[in-house]
Structure 1
Amino acid sequence: MKVSVISPEIYTYGAMLIGGILRDSGHEVKIANNFAGDTEDIVLISLYSTQHLLSPEIREFIRNKRSQGGTVVIGGPVSAYPEMVIGELEPDFVVIGEGEETVPELFSTGFSKDIAGIAFMDDSGIVVRPKRGQASVDRGLPLIPDDISAQSIRGASAYIETHRGCTGACTFCQVPRFFGRNIRSRNLDDILAEVREFKRMGATRLSVSGGTGSLYMADDGKFNEDAFVGLLKEMAAIMGPNNISSPDIRVDCISERVLDAIRDYSIGWVFFGIESGSDRILRDMGKGATVQAASDAVFACRDHGLKVAGSFIVGHPKETEEDFELTRDFITGHSLDDAFVSVAEPIPMTPLADLVLKTPRSENPVYTPHNGEYKSLKLTEAEARSFDLQMHADMFKPGLHVVTDEVFNAYLAGVRKDGEEVRAATELLFRYYGHE
């Protein structure tokens, strides 16, 4: 069977992984990161963002492909809410959850509607078959595109999976609900074989993925420092230490040896999901970490010669002006090397989504107009907080940073776009799961 795997905008690891599994099952597979080229009659689309469900381009592609007699299957993180996927995009099938077993069975049975782990539309409405259990993390090599060297995801050609699962319970995050809270780690030899293949295909930098990189081979959430240090050391021996990164780390998942390994065997950056400078909001977010722990982690990284980036979320339904000011104080007091600010997006089937559904729009910062110092810019409260935080983060980075008109306008355009997308996702959520 000839199959096209499409991963919009970027080649996600999941798309490459499923492409490799189909290839190893005997299918002829090609992979693309856009809808511009010719595709086979069988198309598998890997979607990782709720925003994809609102894409006219994706919707039109699927409509045209099916009208021509093709079959369209959708998988990826959006499959956690198949009713929305089918309602918005109308594919033939949705593969629910981890697809390593479901996808090859679906293809080998000629698209049977009687197998587990799928959803589809028939005359009775949307049918959702029982989910499968967690898939094995033992598998062959992914299908790596020829132009992988041209891709840059925060500087990396690709994020490769070293383990699945997250011990955290952040209310805004889908990862522990999609992959579970138990840590399933891959065999080191398999990971290294994959690293070699990525290098052979032209990848210039690889990043460790898995939610929290330092939890590789963790047992009951406890560090396995030897395993993590060995992982980075062996990967660096293949790619070179300047071509490996392990950025995503929880502030409570570091140690002296972990930080030393990141310094010695990677590009020397750590990316913390700090999210807020308010302990009250961190509790509401289910972060399981405190502001003090975040502060200690930042200074520990500095002591080990590492650069530190942090992500922050504004516009949480319970965030007050005082909470926001505490977050701004954290940024100005820690002079992060980089900061990423986003407006809280309610990903379906998360506790944050449940909270948003219960919050009137008139009380949600994503909708309420800002009447403070940025009133003339006509921003919502969430957008104004994002704009203000990004400006302060830029001004307080180490070294001299000047906020020019160009920088100002770029931040302004970015927060407006972010706000629009989050409101669109929120309206989609209300459409399918609200009770207004």
Structure 2
Amino acid sequence: MKTVVISPEIATYGAMLIGGVVREAGHEVALSTALAAGDAETVLLSLYSTQHLMDPAIREFVAGVRASGRPVYVGGPVSAYPEYILGEIGPDAVVVGEGEETVPRLLKEGVHPGLPGIAYCEEGRVVLTPPALPVSVERPLPLIPDTIGKQSIRGANAYIETHRGCIGACTFCQVPRFFGREIRSRDLDEIRKEVRAFREKGAVRLSVSGGTGSLYGYDGDLDTGAVIALLEMLAEELGPRNVSAPDIRVDAINDEILEAIRKYTIGWLFFGFESGSDEILRQMGKGVSTVQMHDAVEASRQHGLHVAGCFIVGYPTETEDDYQATKGFIEEEMLDDVFISVAEPIPRTPLAELVLKTPHEENPVYVPHTGEYRSLRFSEAEARYFDLSMHADLFKPTLHVVTDEVFNVYLSEARKQGDDVRRVTDLIERYDGAGGA
């Protein structure tokens, strides 16, 4: 059977992984980042953003393929809310959760109630079959496109999965709800084979994925030796300046791990700080304090590492004092880089539940901004994104000038993020709000 796995715009690791599984099952399979079915008999659509469900081009593509008599199946992170997918873009079925075992059976058997881990519509109602069991983290080599060396995701050609699961319980994050809170780590030799396959296809720089890179080998405690061995192996295969280990929790580091990151990677750490307010951190379920955040920055710099921070503004309960605390944290730490996002409620997360309980007139995403940026007609959340972006530039160790071009980029992104979050909120309200499906 000819099958195409489509991951819109970028070749995600998940799409490559499923492509490899389908190939191993004996099918002729191709990977595409464009909405084009070609002569494929079956289409597997791997979607990684809730925004995809509101994309008319994807909706029209699915309808066109189905009209031609060919099945379309959807998987990926969005499968955590299958009712949304079935209602918005109308595929033949959704592969719910981890799909390595479900997808080959689906291609062979088609949609039926005895197949675990799928959702489909029957006589106007959504049918959810029993969930599939968590799969083994060992798998065939992924289907790597010949163009992988030209792809850039935050500077890396691809993110590779070293483990699944996360010990955290952040209210805005889907990872522990999708993969569980138990850490399932892959065999080091299997990761090495995969890295070599990426390198042979032209990949130059790879990033460690899996939520928090330093949780590799975790079994109740950090496995420092396993983390060091992983980073050392990656450096052997790619060179130390072609490995990155982003997305580290501030409570999942120690001196040995930090030194290994300095020695074997590009020398950057990306901490999910999210807020400078202890109250907001508590409400986010971060499980850490601002004291730990400050300590993590200090420890990282003692090892000569560059420190970047991710922050979320516009959390439904974020007050002006909470926001000012975030600005204060950035001033004090003078981070090397800062990434900011408006709080987007991924469906079926605690944040989404909080958004549903928060009236629009109290939600910063909807409340009109009446401060110094009122002429820009921002919402309060958009104003905070815009303000924090410029504020962070002022306190970076190297000079960053806010030119007209930079100003317009921040302006455009603030409005885009506000619009995106409102669209997702509307979607959640339709499906999970009072009277929703």
Alignment TM-score, normalising by the size of structure 2? 0.98
* CA drift at 1:112: 3.5
Counterpart contact for 2:309–2:338, Cα < 8 Å: yes
* CA drift at 1:113: 4.2
SS at match of 1:248: coil
Structure 2 counterpart of 1:279: 278
Deviations 1:69-110 (A, max 9, x none): 111000001001110000000000100000011101111214
Structure 1 counterpart of 2:196: 196
| Superposition pairs of residues 229-378 of structure 1, within 5 angstroms | 229-378=228-377
Q: How far apart are the structure 2 equivalents of 1:306 and 1:38?
A: 47
Q: How far apart are the structure 1 equivalents of 2:37 and 2:132?
A: 33
* CA drift at 1:39: 5.0
How many residues are matched? Answer: 435
* CA drift at 1:132: 1.1
Q: How far apart are the structure 1 equivalents of 2:433 and 2:379?
A: 22
- For structure 1, the 5+ residue unaligned runs are none
Structure 1 counterpart of 2:359, which letter?
A: P
Counterpart contact for 2:217–2:226, Cα < 8 Å: yes
User: Identity over aligned residues, as a percent?
Assistant: 61
Structure 1 counterpart of 2:169: 169
Structure 2 counterpart of 1:116: 116
Structure 2 counterpart of 1:416: 415
Structure 2 counterpart of 1:18: 18
Counterpart contact for 1:159–1:206, Cα < 8 Å: yes
Structure 1 counterpart of 2:334, which letter?
A: S
Residue 183 (1) aligns with residue 183 (2) = yes
Structure 1 counterpart of 2:48: 48
Structure 1 counterpart of 2:128: 128
Structure 2 counterpart of 1:396: 395
Deviations 1:238-273 (A, max 9, x none): 100011110110011010011000000000000000
Q: How far apart are the structure 1 equivalents of 2:36 and 2:69?
A: 19
Deviations 1:295-351 (A, max 9, x none): 111111111111111100011111000000000111111111111110101111111
Q: How far apart are the structure 1 equivalents of 2:73 and 2:253?
A: 40
Structure 2 counterpart of 1:305, which letter?
A: G
Structure 1 counterpart of 2:273, which letter?
A: I
Counterpart contact for 1:164–1:179, Cα < 8 Å: yes
Q: How far apart are the structure 2 equivalents of 1:372 and 1:137?
A: 50
SS at match of 2:347: coil
- For structure 2, the 5+ residue unaligned runs are none
Structure 1 counterpart of 2:188, which letter?
A: L
Structure 2 counterpart of 1:70, which letter?
A: R
Residues 1:70 and 1:36: Cα distance change in structure 2 (over 3 Å): closer
Q: How far apart are the structure 1 equivalents of 2:24 and 2:180?
A: 26
Counterpart contact for 1:370–1:380, Cα < 8 Å: yes
Structure 2 counterpart of 1:115, which letter?
A: L
Counterpart contact for 2:310–2:340, Cα < 8 Å: yes
Structure 1 counterpart of 2:93, which letter?
A: F
Question: Over aligned residues, Cα RMSD in angstroms?
Answer: 0.9
Q: How far apart are the structure 1 equivalents of 2:21 and 2:84?
A: 26
Structure 2 counterpart of 1:407: 406
| Superposition pairs of residues 185-224 of structure 1, within 5 angstroms | 185-220=185-220, 222-224=221-223
SS at match of 1:160: strand
* CA drift at 1:111: 3.8
* CA drift at 1:38: 2.5
Structure 2 counterpart of 1:74, which letter?
A: V
Residues 1:124 and 1:407: Cα distance change in structure 2 (over 3 Å): closer
Structure 1 counterpart of 2:137: 137
Bigger drift between 259-268 and 120-129 goes to 120-129
| Superposition pairs of residues 55-134 of structure 1, within 5 angstroms | 55-134=55-134
Bigger drift between 101-110 and 351-360 goes to 101-110
SS at match of 2:252: coil
Deviations 1:30-74 (A, max 9, x none): 001121572513000001110000001100000000001111000
Residues 1:113 and 1:146: Cα distance change in structure 2 (over 3 Å): farther
Counterpart contact for 1:41–1:65, Cα < 8 Å: no
Q: How far apart are the structure 2 equivalents of 1:239 and 1:90?
A: 42
Q: How far apart are the structure 1 equivalents of 2:363 and 2:164?
A: 33
Q: How far apart are the structure 2 equivalents of 1:236 and 1:113?
A: 47
* CA drift at 1:124: 4.4
Bigger drift between 387-396 and 317-326 goes to 387-396
Deviations 1:1-58 (A, max 9, x none): 1100000111111100000000000000000112157251300000111000000110
* CA drift at 1:165: 0.3
Structure 2 counterpart of 1:28: 28
Structure 2 counterpart of 1:377, which letter?
A: L
Q: How far apart are the structure 2 equivalents of 1:208 and 1:198?
A: 13
Structure 1 counterpart of 2:233, which letter?
A: E
